[in-house]
Amino acid sequence: MKRTARQLADGREILYFDEHPDAPARTAADTRDLPPVAASSEIRLDPLTGEWVAMAAHRQTRTYKPPADLCPLCPSKPGKPSEIPEADYDVAVFENRFPSFSQNVSGQESTVDGNPLVPLAPGRGRCEVVCFTSDHDGSFARLSPRRVRTVVDVWADRTSGLSTVDGVEQVFPFENRGEEIGVTLHHPHGQIYGYPFVTPKTERMIEVARAYREEHGRAVLGDVLAAERKAGTRVIAEGDHWTAFVPPAARWPVHVQVVPHRQVPDIPALTDAERDDFAEVYLSVLRACDGLYDRPLPYIAAWHQAPVRRDRDLGWLHLELFSVLRSKDKLKYLAGSESGMAVWINDATPEQIAERLRRTVR
């Protein structure tokens, strides 16, 4: 893989990842007249839950559902410059123009209204956009195994890079797909957040993993994986190094976890063989998901990685994919129980979800 770093007109970094080492040099300049990025992110600690909440009011002006011929993630064309100056690309990564977290925020640690119960700090981190292909009408499910392997290598590169950024405590690669999820740009892409704290979900999983190891001497996800592989009831796809299954306490109408057979803290720790096998297994999962309702499935695909600086021995890398679509034309809304109390109520059992997905695996 060939990696080239360039700068956009406002000083943001853009990285090109070419599959062929003899790919043409990436020398195209960004001809747009852009103002400097003005991020005003801050984080505040909820005194009742102990969880950080990010405030990023500047994101109200971000790009919203542009027409296809003005897509900011497509390659630039004469008279139509985009976020990607080159006329074509394999995979491209650039700093988000409307970031939730940024290295360019100002301010100091403080409190809200002088109240020590509510600490406040700059939302210092980094947010990047990952474009999986230059094809505007493509999708991750239609990528070749080789391109998926390239994307995995890009995730590994950016996880390593963001882990060295000042203030970043956790690196989170993810993909949002579909308007039902809230996507405002239809070009196939994902994002990577470098959080200035360890996220609440990861904190909870670490707490459970620590308690389980102290009691049993083993990793909880390792035992879950072994049980799922033995039962097979909820397994969707399996390779030499990865297994995809519906979690036994699935929250969503479509919910799949893709787990490596070996405990590793993050994507950079994966071997070449594990990265290749992930591409095959994950593409099987995505094809099953798109075949479920005979339409592109809206989903969130979220990578769970260990924190950057602590508890890495408790982390077990895995990908979680879930969807709000509970039938071809019906959505699962997060109503009172889910949104108000975080108590999930699923309209289908995990076994039913797995059976439906297995029928469409090909």
Q: What sections of the chain are H helices per DSSP?
A: 145-162, 200-216, 220-231, 272-292, 341, 350-360
CA–chain centroid gap for 18, Å, is 21
Contacts 24+ apart (CB under 8 A), 116-121: 117/47, 118/44, 118/45, 118/46, 118/47, 119/44, 119/45, 120/42, 120/43, 120/44, 120/45, 121/42, 121/43, 121/196
187 is catalytic: no
Report the distance separating Cα 257 and Cα 167, nearest Å: 29
Active-site residue among 189, 255, 304, 318?
189
DSSP string of 126-174, one letter each residue: EEEEEE--S-TT--GGGS-HHHHHHHHHHHHHHHHHHTTSTT--EEEEE
Contact 307, 198 (CB under 8 A): yes
Name the residues annotated as catalytic: 189
